A and B are shown apart, each in its own frame.
Chain A
Amino acid sequence: MELILGQIPWIVMPIIFPLIGSMACFLFPAKAKSLGLLTSLVVLACVTRLGWQLKALGSLRYPMGGWGAPLGIDLYADGLSLLMLLMAALVGLGISIYSSSYFSRDKARHFWPLWLFLCGALNALFLSADIFNLYVTLELLGLTAVALVALAGGADALIAAMRYLLVSLLGSLFYLLGVALIYHSVGSLDIAILAQRVEPSPAMWTAVGLISTGLLLKTALFPMHFWLPPAHASAPAPVSALMSALVVKASFYILLRMWLEFFQTQGAAFANFLGLLGAAAVLWGGIQALRQTQLKLLIAYSTVSQLGYLFLAFPLGTSIAWKGALYMLFSHAMAKAAMFMAAGNIQFFAGHDRIAELGSITQRLPLTLTAFALAGISLMGLPPSGGFIGKWLLLQASIESGQWWWGIILLLGGFLAAGYVFKVIAHVFTHDEPTSRTVTLPATMEWSALGLALIAVLLGLFTYWPLAMLEMGSPFGTGHSG
């Protein structure tokens, strides 16, 4: 048995299965729900198995179909990609469970194939070993995400989707132009080869500038975040969840990967610039979130703020800082997905998401509010939660490197987060009569939100595996990043 299991190229499976699942859902819409759930489970299993393999090997390179570079496609996995895969698989399972009750039959027909396709594109992106494949997967991801946002159907959603599409294409084109320059000056697309050959030159600087612009646009880093709140807020709840939790992380992952492998040579000024933008995002996003009157917009601005934290690691640059940022990314994915699901539950139950009128609803939805509160703990960075561990590590890195001002931003961001989380939570404790609405909320929708929120909290207690995972293949090791 072990012999057979050992022969299977597990690295391919997280890409293949969602694509097959997507096709199957498209062909048999009546069975889409169970097919989708099954696919999500299988993907999680495959990722776990891949993790098992990586535990022994450290990192893994796999030429698909045996063709090899330059024309074939190589896949590459190490601890960093495994972490991202695992995040996508866990959130994905949660979203699948949630969506199995959320969508009407008509919408479900479109949702499942698109969602599984997006899942496949995402996994392919995390496993890509060259920068052009990253472009292709990025485009696939962007296009499916746009279609999913448009699924909500109203004028708002369509306009938000259109804006998102234009931004996404613009970002990809910047990226592609940068890739062209890199290929011209280095003669390779493979990340590992680039890491050895790249030398600072005007062409490289331009390329780094173009690629970063494109990716930052897609990651919605302040001040290029304008498209995110409408797109994330007007989409159906599970789509908002997957957009905020996963899709924006994909472009961040590419930037991080390139940074670790060969961007670092571009000097500290650029890193500081990214840090500054991140700090501005933390504060601006937080303040905007505090000002919102609609729950989903509040959560969307919170994403803008939380994404800012990730960029604080660039100027710090130490292994501890990266781990902190990635821990934050991972727990943000869980917490934010849970939060959007909770908001979806409230909207499903009440028919609106106006924060001022939540008092009468929240008392009817204790589980949903618990999920929201637990996710909020992680966003605020209070212990015990994954957000706390991330904040601790980033704070430690900022003090150790003497750049304490980034630490101040972390603390201020925490205050803002506490402000907007409790702005919502405070509505639980009112005298408003519980509403007499008789909508029944499917239990799966409440429990999937709670499950993800619990993972975000438990990440603050059980840190051994996630941190050990990040060590695999030592993506932050000094020898590796050159």
Chain B
Amino acid sequence: MSNIYLYALLGVGLFILGIYSLIVYANLLRKILAINVMCTGVFLVLVSLASRNHNVQPDTVPHAMVITGIVVAVSATALALILMLKINKAIGKSEFPDKDCE
């Protein structure tokens, strides 16, 4: 039982870490990575909360959700990366031009 919540808390920790990096770092690549860390955190929460207690088989629905989520995350990352490259080409750096970007 406590085991499960440990994982879930770890997921939440990753999520918060991701938000922190997303806000603090200006570099777009770091922002994209931060989003990915957040994704991983959410998936961890989903997977860990799937097993409600030790004796029963874990619920499959959250697993299906995680798989869907991973697909979405991968395509979002791909789109973000290509946008980053294009921005780099257009303005010569991979950052938002002004200071207060997020």
Contacts and interface: CB of A to CB of B under 8 A. Distances in A.
Q: State if A and B touch, Cβ cutoff 8 Å.
A: yes
Interface stretch (A4-12, A93-101, A151-159): A151-159
A184 B49 contact: yes
Contact of B83 (A139, A162, A180): A162
B3 interface: no
Interface string B78-93: 0110011011001100
A70 B61 CA distance: 7
Nearest to A176: B42
A30 interface: no
A177 interface: yes
Given A70-B61, A166-B31, A183-B61, A159 B96 contact: yes
Contacts of B31: 166
Q: How large is the interface on A (under 10, 10 to 19, 20 to 34, 35 or more residues)?
A: 20 to 34
B45 A177 contact: yes
B42 A173 contact: yes
Contacts of A158: 83, 86-87, 90
A71 B101 contact: no
Interface string A166-208: 1001100100110111011000010000000000000000000
B72 A136 contact: yes
A136 B68 contact: yes
B6 interface: no
Given A136-B68, A163-B96, A180 B46 contact: yes
Contacts of A177: 12, 15, 42, 45
B69 A159 contact: no
Contact of B101 (A150, A163, A173): A163
A146 B22 CA distance: 18
Contacts of A170: 19, 22, 35, 38
A349 interface: no
A143 B76 contact: yes
Nearest to A183: B62
Contact of A180 (B38, B42, B84, B91): B42
Nearest to A164: B83
Contacts of A169: 35, 76, 80
Per DSSP, chain B at the interface is: helix
A155 B38 contact: no
B64 interface: yes
A307 to B, nearest CB: 21
B11 to A, nearest CB: 8
Interface string B41-74: 0100110010010000000111011001100100
A159 B35 CA distance: 17
Contacts of B60: 71
A161 interface: yes
A71 B61 contact: yes
A162 B22 CA distance: 13
Contacts of B102: 163, 166
A165 interface: yes
B69 A176 contact: yes
Contact of B35 (A139, A155, A161, A173): A173
A-B interface, 7 closest residue pairs, ranked by CB to CB distance from nearest: A155-B90, A184-B49, A180-B46, A139-B72, A162-B83, A180-B45, A158-B87
Interface of B: 12, 15, 19, 22, 28, 31, 35, 38-39, 42, 45-46, 49, 52, 60-62, 64-65, 68-69, 72, 75-76, 79-80, 83-84, 86-87, 90-91, 96-97, 101-102
Interface of A: 70-71, 132, 135-136, 139, 143, 146-147, 150, 154-155, 158-159, 161-163, 165-166, 169-170, 173, 176-177, 179-181, 183-184, 189
Given A71-B61, A143-B75, A163-B101, 9 more contacts: A143-B76, A150-B86, A158-B90, A165-B76, A165-B79, A170-B19, A177-B45, A183-B49, A183-B61
22 contacts: A70-B61, A71-B64, A146-B79, A155-B91, A159-B87, A159-B91, A162-B28, A162-B84, A163-B102, A165-B80, A166-B31, A166-B35, A170-B35, A177-B15, A180-B46, A180-B49, A180-B62, A180-B65, A181-B49, A183-B62, A184-B49, A184-B52
